[in-house]
Structure 1
Amino acid sequence: MLRSLALLVALSVPVSGLAQVTTVPQSQSQIQLSFAPLVKQAAPAVVNIYARRVVEARSPFADDPFFRNFFGDMQGRPRVQNSLGSGVILSADGIVVSNYHVVGQATDIRVVLNDRREYAARVLLADEESDLAILQLEEAEDMPFLDLRDSESVEVGELVLAIGNPFGVGQTVSSGIVSGLARTGTATGNGRGYFIQTDAPINPGNSGGALIDTAGRLIGVNTSILTRSGGSNGIGFAIPSAMVQQFVTQARAGEIRFQRPWAGMTGQPVDADISDSLGLSLPGGIVVVQMHEASPFAAAGLEPGDVILSVDGAPVNTPPEMIYRMSVRGIGAEAEVGFFRDGAVRTARVSMIAAPDSPPAERTTLGAQAVLPGLTLARINPAISAELGLGTQAEGIVVLDPGPYGARAGLQAGDVILSIDGIEIISPTEVERILRRAAPRIQIDAQRGSRRLLLRFRV
């Protein structure tokens, strides 16, 4: 009796100014509270994906004439790679979202529904950087599908379910909460963007599966985990539904490559030291370091030294966060950017544009009779720079594909050719002429990232 009285007194003690109230379940339904109705509603729209790709096994000496004279044709036999993952149906006509690393470059894709129906599928739009792919089921109609919820409304602490096909054992469901938002650069996998973090267990095969809320709406696509052992340790990552919606929009518009708005600038996160030097009250935002003259931020009035604080009211603290915010707005839209300058917070309207393909890239591939056959070059412009990640200040002629002989000479895609035999390169179209003039002993001065290269070889 005394123990019961003590328990009642303990339950009535205020916690943080509020009285903790306990109640006894009033009905059988409350006693049997479960996720079963939610799973029955959402599970039919989560599918298993079986992807197959044919890859050519090549000897590293296959292109070397010396070894080919001794061993003949050294091309290996093609071999088949299989991958297993999950996907989510997003419309009645069979639009499916999954991860790029599940279906990227696949030659045959089979999608199996929860009721064992099976469909062939083709990729409409895929992007390795975002690790997303949009598929179309062939001859599909009246498919079960999940509605998208705006991931901007998701809050830390919300209950979520992860549905997928881990280890190929069949569809499984795990529960957890949203344990973090705005995670960037922390996940293992192809995705290098912005993630929702969850403690719902995510294991191999869950990739491309659904992260849903308690109303059965899709808030994210499970993509990767943070692990040291290879299994789920309670830190999983999902690509937000806002990005998924932008992919679906572009896929339905007929795009085959994801069009990401171009910032035309470089920046770095603001830490405590930088915030003190700039007069910010708290660390946060991105300080603009360099800016291309054609940048839409420059056109809106921003300058190097400004600190970008927000995009459309959402705070941004890393460059990937800013690019994510721009990407979900989409090309052709405008975003309101908040920035700090001279002790005051200001705003500007910034247009979301594609990287300009000017001046003309002049893509050039050297022919079979050239000194370096197969070598593909282009003039650096904002579009080429964005494609290869060269930075806003890169200029000159860049290698798109070294070709077999260029690769043996040491060239790689992304190398910026500064000169050949001491002659500065002005246009990709003049490279073949200068190579012939320099042969048989060729010297190429190139830039690879922050390193300067001097390649000498004989042809």
Structure 2
Amino acid sequence: MRIIALCIAGVLAVAAWEFATPHLTPPLAAQSVPQSVQEISLSFAPVVRQAAPAVASIYARRVVEQRVNPFFNDPLFGQLFGDQGRSVPRVQNALGSGVIVSADGIVVSNYHVVGGADDIRVVLDDRREFAADVILADQESDLAVLRMRGASGLPAVTLADSDLVEVGDLVLAIGNPFGVGQTVSSGIVSALARSGLAVGSGRGYFIQTDAAINPGNSGGALVDMHGHLVGINTAILTRSGGSNGIGFAIPANLVDQVVAQALQGRDRFQRPWVGISGQAVDAALADAFGMSLPQGVVIREMHDSSPMRRAGLTVGDVILAVNGEPVNSAQEMMFRLSAQGLGGTASMTVLQGERQGTASVELIAPPEVPARETLSVSGVVLRGLVAETINPAVIAENNLSPGAAGVMVVSVQDVAEWAGLRPRDVVLAVNRQPVGNTRELDRVLRDTARYWELEIEREGRRTVLRFRL
């Protein structure tokens, strides 16, 4: 009995020590070893077999004019000698990747791969080759849609809902890096809503991944574990030229809308026009607005014809979400609207003063009102100038300020170039006479004055150009 009592006391003491001492490692019961061949030999091969046939290599060629003497390419010598240097055609080759999204040969790639190309060849995973034509190109999103000639019955990828992607999801990047042939690399989604970045030719909203992306991967596929497309790989951040684990992809929801517009016959991607400029709310602005957290986009400027104005929004309001999705930058807001496309309305969660509410905003194309009325100047004053009357469509096409008004410079040659004008300059007044449209500009330029003064706005700054004839 004494021995039994001692044993019981010992067990109780061990149990008490066990409960009093915290576990530094998980209990063994929470750990396990592979119990089957399937668990031991995990592989991405099924995903690759499904997605890889829909990823192609793209070879683009463009012909550019280059001056024979390298001194004529120098900014200083080029101005001194003008067009006296002889130019010869030079072939530029580009290598990239593309994703087949339709069995009849519709391919999505990057604008910086095929933009301006004279000859495009698409090589499939099974080594078949097709000539292709660009049917829609959009430099701002860095997307281009191609149609392969004579193609049918091709493998096509299914587009995922990129809004459902989460940080930490496993993804595969498929493309043709450095021209070595189709290559697959694995990683995770490192971050979402990367905006305010200027990567590649694109400006906007990106998915970040650490899957290895290298030159030649541009335009290739970023797929999830179902083999569905979550993004088009577009650029990397690197100092060496190789992958450092920071790559960016254009979300599939925007790709879907771009392809839809291409199939509708548009050659340029049309974004909904809201007619505002916005600024991300930082800590200082959040404190000024009495917000507990810095979030949303505050409206800084608004066009008189903006659909947001018709929906009841004003300058100083804070847009918190679009269709229930939080937005924390102007680029993110425009991505949400662009992915929805033209037509219908978007529901916006808005903070107006201390009151939070919702507003229904029409998704419309920028109106051509007033008419842009192109003017080509052939007289002595500003000869070689081509200009347009500014309207919402001109503002949207050239990324001008929503409040821009007057006349925009389209191109310059001869006297107009010598006077210092540049494309996208906004001409506000000539010899201190305001010009609101091209008809008024044409009338002012008929004057016989020898001294001329042009008040212009360039990249948001006002300046004055003076010259003598």
TM-score (norm 2): 0.89
Cα distance in structure 1, aligned partners of 2:203 and 2:53:
30
- Match of residue 125, structure 1, among 114, 118, 136: 136
Deviation of the 1:15 alpha carbon: 9.2
Kept in 2: contact 1:198–1:236 (CA 8 A): yes
> Structure 2: any 5+ residue segments left out of the alignment?
1-17
Deviation of the 1:96 alpha carbon: 0.3
Cα distance in structure 1, aligned partners of 2:405 and 2:468:
27
Cα distance in structure 1, aligned partners of 2:161 and 2:125:
26
1:411 maps to which residue? 421
1:54 maps to which residue? 63
Q: What are the residue-to-residue correspondences of 1:61-100 with 2, within 5 Å?
A: 67=81, 74-100=85-111
Q: What are the residue-to-residue correspondences of 1:25-64 with 2, within 5 Å?
A: 25-57=34-66, 59=72
Q: Give the counterpart letter for 1:148 in structure 2.
A: L
1:151 maps to which residue? 162
Q: Does 1:321 align with 2:325?
A: no
Q: Give the counterpart letter for 2:249 in structure 1.
A: A
Q: Number of matched residues?
A: 444
1:141 maps to which residue? 152
| Matched position secondary structure for 1:90 | strand
Q: Which stretch shows the higher mean deviation, 273-282 or 146-155? A: 273-282
1:22 maps to which residue? 31
Cα distance in structure 1, aligned partners of 2:27 and 2:304:
57
2:409 maps to which residue? 399
Deviation of the 1:403 alpha carbon: 2.7
Q: Which stretch shows the higher mean deviation, 321-330 or 412-421? A: 412-421
Q: Give the counterpart letter for 2:39 in structure 1.
A: Q
Deviation of the 1:257 alpha carbon: 0.7
Pair 1:63–1:276, CA change in 2 (3 A): closer
Pair 1:35–1:73, CA change in 2 (3 A): same
- Match of residue 463, structure 2, among 421, 436, 453: 453
Kept in 2: contact 1:187–1:225 (CA 8 A): no
| Matched position secondary structure for 2:313 | coil
Kept in 1: contact 2:401–2:460 (CA 8 A): no
Pair 1:79–1:436, CA change in 2 (3 A): farther
| Matched position secondary structure for 2:102 | coil
1:379 maps to which residue? 389
2:214 maps to which residue? 203
Cα distance in structure 2, aligned partners of 1:183 and 1:152:
13
Q: Give the counterpart letter for 1:97 in structure 2.
A: V
| Matched position secondary structure for 2:321 | strand
Q: Which stretch shows the higher mean deviation, 378-387 or 212-221? A: 378-387
Q: What are the residue-to-residue correspondences of 1:234-245 with 2, within 5 Å?
A: 234-245=245-256
Q: Give the counterpart letter for 1:234 in structure 2.
A: G
Kept in 2: contact 1:310–1:316 (CA 8 A): yes
Q: What are the residue-to-residue correspondences of 1:41-440 with 2, within 5 Å?
A: 41-57=50-66, 59=72, 67=81, 74-186=85-197, 188-367=199-378, 371-438=381-448, 440=450
2:13 maps to which residue? none
Cα distance in structure 1, aligned partners of 2:36 and 2:225:
21
Kept in 2: contact 1:164–1:207 (CA 8 A): yes
Paired-residue identity, %:
55
| Matched position secondary structure for 2:227 | coil
Q: Give CA deviations for 1:146-182 in whole Å, capped at 9, x if unaligned.
A: 0000101111111000001111111111000011111
Deviation of the 1:374 alpha carbon: 3.3
Kept in 2: contact 1:380–1:396 (CA 8 A): yes
Kept in 2: contact 1:435–1:442 (CA 8 A): no
Coordinate RMSD, CA, aligned: 2.5
Pair 1:442–1:150, CA change in 2 (3 A): same
Deviation of the 1:226 alpha carbon: 1.6
Kept in 1: contact 2:196–2:329 (CA 8 A): no
Kept in 2: contact 1:421–1:438 (CA 8 A): no
